[in-house]
Structure 1
Amino acid sequence: MMTMTTPNTALRAVRAGMRMSQDDFARALQAAGHRAGEPNDANKRLVQRWESGAIAAPRPVYLRALEVVTGLPIELLGFAALPGAQVKADREGGHDLTSSMSDLATPEPAARPGAPHGSYVGVWLSRYQYYSSGRGESYAGQHYVVLLQHSDRLTVRSLPNSASSSLALDLTVDGSVITGTWIEQTAEEGYYRGARYHGAIQLLVEPTGRRMTGKWVGFGKAMDINTGPWELVFQDNSTSKATLDRYNTLPQDLPG
C-alpha cells in the first residue's frame, strides 16, 4: 500500500525567499551547526527530502540549525514541534541520522531573572530612531519581530506585514549585555528605494527581562556613520503560527 507524501511548501518558500539554492541552504545549515558546536551533515539530498515531504520530522540537531539559519520557528517551516520524548528518541537514531557527530546537544538557555520563561524567545516590538539628512527630520522604525534563542545566540526576524521593510538581527547574550549586527532591507517603493543597510547594535536588558534598550551604529545614505537609540519590548512568549499571525500587522504605538 503506497503512502502519499505532502510536499513541504513552507520550507521551500522560505528557502527561495532567502535566494538560496538547496546546496547553499545545506551549507548554511552546516555552518550554523559548527558555530553552535553542534556539527551536522546537511546536504542537498537531505534538503530535497525535507521539501518533498519524504522526511516530515527532522532530528533536533537539524531543527535547531533550521531555526538559526531562517530565524523562524519550526512551526513556520512546515514542521511540527517535537515532544520531549521524541526528542530523546531522535537523538538515539532518527531517519535523517547521517553521522554520530549529530548527537551533540545544544545546551538549553540558562534561566535569567525576569526573562520570560528563562529565555528571550517570543514576539517583541522593535523600535529605533534615525535622522534623515535628505528630509531634515528624525523618524522611527517599528517592526514586530520573532526572537529565537539557541544557547547564547539570538536570531531576530521581522514579521513581513509589520512594516514595509524587513529587519534581521543576529545577537549574542553575555549576562545582561546583548551585542550583534542588524540588516534592514528597505521597500522598493519607499523613500530609500530598496537600499540595504546594516551595522552593529548593543543592548542592555532591563531587570524585568521584558525590555532591551541600547543604540545602533551604521552607515547613512551619504556613506557617513550614524547612530541612534534602539529598543525591543516584549509582547508574547509564544511563537505558534496563531500568535505570529496575530502580530503580523502594523504595530500600534504602545504607552510608555
Structure 2
Amino acid sequence: MSTPNITLRTVRIGLRMSQDDMARALREAGLRAGEPNDASKRLVQRWESGDIASPRPVYARALESVTGQPIENLGFSVTVPLVRVADDGAGGHDLASSADGIRAPHAPLPRVSAQPAHGAYSGVWLSRYEYFSSGRDGTYTGLHFVVMLQHGNRLSVRSLPGSSDSPLTMDLEVDGAVVTGTWTEQTASEGYYSGARYHGALQMLVEPTGRRIAGKWVGFGKDFDVNTGPWELVFQDASTSKATLDSYNRRP
C-alpha cells in the first residue's frame, strides 16, 4: 500500500493553498523558469496520497520554487535528481509506487547533463533592505532569513515564515558576478501597510567571496511613486536540512 505524503500536504496547507492553487502555482513557476509543466490538481493528489513516490526533476524544481523548501524536505520517499533532463520524447510525470517497489513510468531512462543539483549559492541567507517611509518620515530596515535554492543559473529565494510577518520571495538569475531579478513582499495584515502587496526589480553584484550579494532594489511606494534603496543578502549556512531551516525560522 502507498504511504501518504503527509509532509507535502502539511506544507501546502501551511501556504494556504488548495490542491488547485498549488497546481496553478507550479505551472506559473515552470513558466517563469522557462520549463513549462502541466501540473494538475490530480497530480498533486497523487503525490499527497503516495501513489507517486517521487516527482520528475522539472516538477521537483517547481515544487522548490513554490514552497521555498528543498525537495528532500517535502516528504517524498525517493531521492529526486535535480539535474536537467535531455528530451528523449518519452514524456511522463514521475516515479510511481508499485508492488515491486519503485518503477519508472517510461523506458529507457532519460539522459542527464552534468549540471549539479544545487549550486554554490544554495543555503540560508540573511536578507536586509532599506526603504524610506514618507508617511513616517524615516528610513526603515526589512530583515528576513531566506532559503536560496539554485538550479543552473537560476536562484529561487523564499523567506522562512517565522522570520517576518511579511513573506518575501525573489526570482533571480546569476550571470558571473551579476544577479538580476524580481522581488515580491506581502506586508503584514496588522502592520503599517495593512497587508499591501509590493513588488519590483533587483540588480545586485556578488562579492568575490561569494558570501555577500549586494545592490539596489526598485519598486513603487504607498503613493505609487517609484522608489529605490540598498539590498543585500549575507550568507549564513550552506545546509538546507529541516533542522537547519527550523533553527533559522525566527526573527533575525
Matched with 2:5 is 8
Which digits, 9 at most, give the CA deviation of each residue in 1:54-100, with x for residues without a partner?
2232233322221133332113322257176xx99xx9983286678
Which digits, 9 at most, give the CA deviation of each residue in 1:27-57, with x for residues without a partner?
4434544665655553332211111122232
1:82 aligned residue (76, 79, 83): 79
Overall identity of the aligned pairs, in %: 67
Q: Is the 8 Å Cα contact of residues 171 and 180 (structure 1) preserved in structure 2?
A: yes
2:23 aligned residue (26, 34, 37): 26
Matched with 1:133 is 134
The alignment's C-alpha RMSD in Å is: 3.2
Q: Is the 8 Å Cα contact of residues 30 and 62 (structure 2) preserved in structure 1?
A: yes
2:51 aligned residue (47, 54, 71): 54
Q: Structure 1: how far apart are the matches of 2:223 and 2:27? A: 37
Matched with 1:162 is 163
Gap runs ≥5 in structure 2:
98-103
Alignment pair present for 1:235 and 2:232: no
Give the letter for the 2:137 counterpart: G
1:108 aligned residue (111, 115, 120): 115
Alignment pair present for 1:196 and 2:176: no
1:141–1:35: structure 2 CA closer, same or farther, 3 Å change rule? closer
Q: Is the 8 Å Cα contact of residues 211 and 232 (structure 1) preserved in structure 2?
A: yes
Q: Is the 8 Å Cα contact of residues 57 and 80 (structure 2) preserved in structure 1?
A: no
The CA deviation at 1:24 is 4.5
1:25–1:212: structure 2 CA closer, same or farther, 3 Å change rule? same
The CA deviation at 1:248 is 0.6
Gap runs ≥5 in structure 1:
111-116, 252-256
| 3-state SS, counterpart of residue 199 of structure 1 | strand
Q: Is the 8 Å Cα contact of residues 53 and 95 (structure 2) preserved in structure 1?
A: no
The CA deviation at 1:121 is 0.2
| 3-state SS, counterpart of residue 52 of structure 2 | coil
Matched with 2:247 is 246
Q: Structure 2: how far apart are the matches of 1:225 and 1:61? A: 36
Greater helix share, structure number = 1
TM-score normalized by the length of structure 2: 0.81
Q: Is the 8 Å Cα contact of residues 37 and 58 (structure 2) preserved in structure 1?
A: yes
Which digits, 9 at most, give the CA deviation of each residue in 1:107-154, with x for residues without a partner?
6259xxxxxx95200000000001111111101010000000111111
Q: Is the 8 Å Cα contact of residues 72 and 79 (structure 2) preserved in structure 1?
A: no
| 3-state SS, counterpart of residue 235 of structure 1 | strand
Q: Structure 2: how far apart are the matches of 1:208 and 1:95? A: 42
Greater strand share, structure number = 2
Give the letter for the 1:95 counterpart: A
Q: Is the 8 Å Cα contact of residues 173 and 179 (structure 2) preserved in structure 1?
A: yes
| 3-state SS, counterpart of residue 95 of structure 2 | coil
Q: Is the 8 Å Cα contact of residues 143 and 159 (structure 1) preserved in structure 2?
A: yes
Q: Structure 2: how far apart are the matches of 1:118 and 1:65? A: 16
Q: Is the 8 Å Cα contact of residues 29 and 65 (structure 1) preserved in structure 2?
A: yes
